[in-house]
Amino acid sequence: MRTPIYLDHAATTPVRAEVLEAMLPFFGARFGNPSSAHRWGREARAALEEARERLAALIGARGDEICFTSGGTEGDNLAVLGTWRALRDRRRAVVSAPIEHKAVLAAMHEVAHEGGEERWAPTDRHGIVVQDRYEALVDDEVALCSVMWVNNEIGVIQDIGALAATAKSRGAMFHTDAVQALGKVAIDARAVPFDTLTISGHKIGAPKGIGAIFIRRGTPLESLVFGGAQERGRRPGTENIAMAVGFARAAELAVAEREQECTRVAALRDRLEAELVARIPDAIVHGRGAMRAPHILSLSVPGTDSESLLMALDLAGIAASSGSACQSGSVEPSHVLTALGVPADLGAAAIRMSLGALTTDDAITRVAELFPSLIDKARRLGGVRA
């Protein structure tokens, strides 16, 4: 087999060499606990706070507004549940959209389980939240609205400025899951009035297991974890210095390279999309009618099924994904495509290719050639749908 092609950057990315290098001292001599009063502790504390400030600066925030977490799921949970629990006596409702990541969906359900009210703002067929339907849901009962910046399955970009402004005008808090947005769209806490924002390291070249949540000064938030005073008591537990440092380094690189890398990746994605649609004229590109992040291409071809296609792609050396994989690793129907009103048979045929650091021009050429031949074959066999 020729060199395998990794087209699953939305799932995770390799740790960058610069990031690994930045982390290494903290796996060695600089092993201290930042809570300690001695020199090892001071050294660790300095590294941690420096990482925090560097990360904050990248998104227009102040250091004290950054709380390190284990990643996107924890951040989403803390933002939704932590804010709602802090406000539940006055405002019992939360508003979100059906295309959110499961980390937000499940936190919303937990709110309902704890006696709150979950409200769902529909999207149009491209995946964009319908502004007036959303506005109609945000009243003085609403504690928090949560809408993801960039959708992880189809890449569509929401108008976070408008959605956040609506929430603020009605006295509600606003959270955005920006896990897929970091390094892809400009994020500036001074320009957009979100109260909390969730980001994750492993999508941008840092390791898995590190993330952060931006918490604007004055935002009510209850911790989900109890213990010491680390991260201002919002996330107790000994801090992961090495990974915080690695995350800050990865974020710096991603933000610095954003425009250039987005231009490069968008050109590759657009070429791949154009060539695939030219060769498979009835292919449906999800989210095509909306603004999309440059790295995601989600498409369905009638008469195929994603499970068989993903197998065939993997055996041909191409790593892609469908909607969301379940715990067992089997392919599940995508709740995002269902929410867009995509018919079940097309939803079950969705393939997501996500580009990034490992994607080369040559790789795109190969995929553009190979994918249509696999589609032809799948259609000849007729997709078996479970």
Partner 1 sequence: MSGGVDSSVAAALLHAQGYDVVGATMKLFCYGDEVPDRPCCSLDSINDARRICESLGVPHYVLNLESAFGHDVVDNFVQEYAAGRTPIPCVRCNTFTKFRDLLRKADAVDAQFIATGHYARVIGGELHRGVDPSKDQTYFLWGIDRAVVSRMLLPVGAQTKAETRAVARSLGLAVAEKVESQDICFVPDGDHAKIIRQRLGDDTPALACGPIVLADGRVVGEHEGYARFTIGQRRGLPGGFAEPMFVVAIHPETRAVVIGPRDALLGRGVVAREVNWLVDAPAVGARVQVQVRHRAPAAGAEIIRVDGDEIELALAEPVAAITPGQSLVLYDGTRVLGGGFIERAAGTRPRLPVLAALAG
Q: Mind telling me the catalytic residues? A: 326
Nearest distance, CB of residue 106 and partner 1, angstroms:
15
Q: Nearest distance from residue 300's CB to partner 1, in Å?
A: 16
Please answer whether residues 346 and 284 qualify as being in contact, where contact means their C-beta atoms are separated by less than 8 angstroms. Answer: yes
Closest approach, Cβ 371 to partner 1, in A, equals: 14
Query: What CA–CA distance (Å, rounded) separates 372 from 275?
Result: 9
Min separation Cβ 321 and partner 1, Å? 13
Could you tell me the two tokens for 189?
């806490």
Closer to partner 1 by CB, 155 or 383: give it: 383
* CB neighbour class for 21 (10 Å; exposed up to 12, middle 13-18, buried from 19): exposed
Tokens 């109609």 appear where? 136
Q: Is 2 in the site for partner 1 (CB under 8 A)?
A: no
Can you tell me which residue has the tokens 């915080």?
244
CA separation for the pair 270, 267 (Å, rounded): 5
Residue 386 interacts with partner 1 (CB under 8 A)? yes
Instruction: Specify the stretch interacting with partner 1 by CB under 8 A; choose among 14-22, 23-31, 90-98, 301-309.
Output: 301-309
Please give the Cα distance from 312 to 383 (Å, whole number). Answer: 12
Q: Does 7 bind partner 1 (CB under 8 A)?
A: no
- Bridge partners, residue 331, by sequence: 325
C-beta closer to partner 1: residue 151 or 322:
322
Q: Does the footprint of partner 1 cover residue 239 (CB under 8 A)?
A: no
1 binds partner 1 (CB under 8 A): no
Q: Which one of 113, 125, 315, 369 is in contact with partner 1 (CB under 8 A)? A: 315
Q: Which stretch binds partner 1 (CB under 8 A): 66-74, 90-98, 183-191, 303-311?
A: 303-311
* Nearest of 28, 44, 77 to residue 239 by alpha carbon: 44
CA distance linking residue 72 with residue 75, whole number of Å: 5
260 lines the binding site for partner 1 (CB under 8 A): no
Q: How far is the CB of 377 from partner 1 (least distance, A)?
A: 8
Site string for partner 1, 316-335 (x = CB under 8 A): -----------xxxxxx---
Kindly report the length of the chain. 386
Under the binding rule (CB under 8 A), the answer on residue 378 touching partner 1 is yes
Stretches 75-83, 162-170, 263-271, 304-312: which one binds partner 1 (CB under 8 A)? 304-312
C-alpha pair distances (Å), 284 with each of 277, 278, 380:
8, 12, 19
User: CA–CA distance from 238 to each of 31, 45, 214, 371 (Å)?
Assistant: 12, 11, 19, 47
Element (H, E) at 103: helix 102-113
- Provide the minimum distance between the beta carbon of 303 and partner 1 in the complex, in angstroms, as a whole number: 12
Which residue of 314, 335, 350, 370 would you call a contact of partner 1, by CB under 8 A? 314
Query: Applying CB under 8 A, which residues contact partner 1?
Result: 307-312, 314-315, 327-332, 377-378, 381-382, 384-386
